[in-house]
């Protein structure tokens, strides 16, 4: 069973969202997602300052197995990207909820967070998919 921390929010595309305060959220992929991907070898992330709407492509994760798009789970502006992933993409596998984070977004539509899944909702979704 994969690890699903109860203090985070989730979306069906297997990303997690952590509230960092001040209208900023951190985003990464879940433990379940990194397990499906296998060893991550490259992560391509957007530039700081770029604006995205929900569902936009914001990057690509390449694992040994396949390339997967990352979609913006919420609308907003990129305020930080995890530059560590450039040299150490394996952090996505070893610490998906910590050092393996991808980006931080300043939200432009705070109301969108109402549609996010909680840990139980995400766990159910993973169960239904397996």
Partner 1 sequence: MGQKTALYEKHQQMNAKLVGFGGWEMPINYGSQVEEHHKVRTDAGMFDVSHMTVVDVTGADSKEYLRYLLANDVVQLQQQGKALYSGMLNEMGGVVDDLIVYLMTDPDVAGEWFRVVVNCATREKDLRWMADHTAKFDGVALTERPELSMVAIQGPNALAKVESILSESRVKLIDGLKPFQGVESEGWFFARTGYTGEDGLEVMVPEEYVADFWQALFDADVTPCGLGARDTLRLEAGMNLYGLDMDEKVSPLAANMGWTVAWEPADRDFIGRSALEKQRAAGVQEKMVGLVLENRGVLRSHQKVVINGEEAGEITSGTFSPTLGCSIAMARVSADVADTCHVDMRGKLVEVKVVKPSFVRNGEKVFS
Distance CA 68, CA 99 (A): 20
List 23, 42, 53, 124, residue binding partner 1 (CB under 8 A): 42
Q: With CB under 8 A as the contact rule, which of the stretches 17-25, 34-42, 71-79, 122-130 interacts with partner 1?
A: 34-42
Size of the site for partner 1 (CB under 8 A): 13
- Told to check if 114 binds partner 1 by CB under 8 A, we report no
- Told to check if 108 binds partner 1 by CB under 8 A, we report no
Q: What does the DSSP 8-state code read for residue 83?
A: T
- Told to check if 65 binds partner 1 by CB under 8 A, we report yes
Q: Where are the beta strands (DSSP E) in 4-94?
A: 9-11, 15-19, 24-29, 40-44, 51-52, 57-63, 67-71, 76-81
With CA atoms as reference, report the closest residue to 10 among 90, 81, 113, 128: 113
Residues forming contacts to partner 1 in the complex (CB under 8 A) are 38-39, 41-42, 44, 60, 62, 64-67, 90, 93
């Amino acid at each position: 069973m994969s690890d699903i921390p109860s203090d985070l929010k989730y979306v069906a595309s297997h990303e997690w969202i952590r509230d960092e305060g001040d209208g900023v959220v951190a985003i990464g992929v879940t433990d379940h997602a990194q397990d499906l991907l296998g060893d991550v070898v490259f992560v391509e992330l957007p530039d700081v300052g770029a604006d995205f709407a929900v569902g936009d492509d914001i990057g690509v994760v390449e694992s040994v197995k396949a390339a997967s798009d990352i979609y913006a789970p919420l609308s907003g502006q990129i305020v930080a990207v995890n530059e560590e992933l450039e040299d150490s993409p394996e952090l996505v596998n070893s610490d998906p909820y910590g050092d393996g984070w991808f980006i931080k977004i300043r939200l432009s539509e705070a109301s969108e967070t109402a549609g996010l899944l909680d840990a139980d909702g995400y766990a159910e979704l993973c169960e239904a998919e397996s």
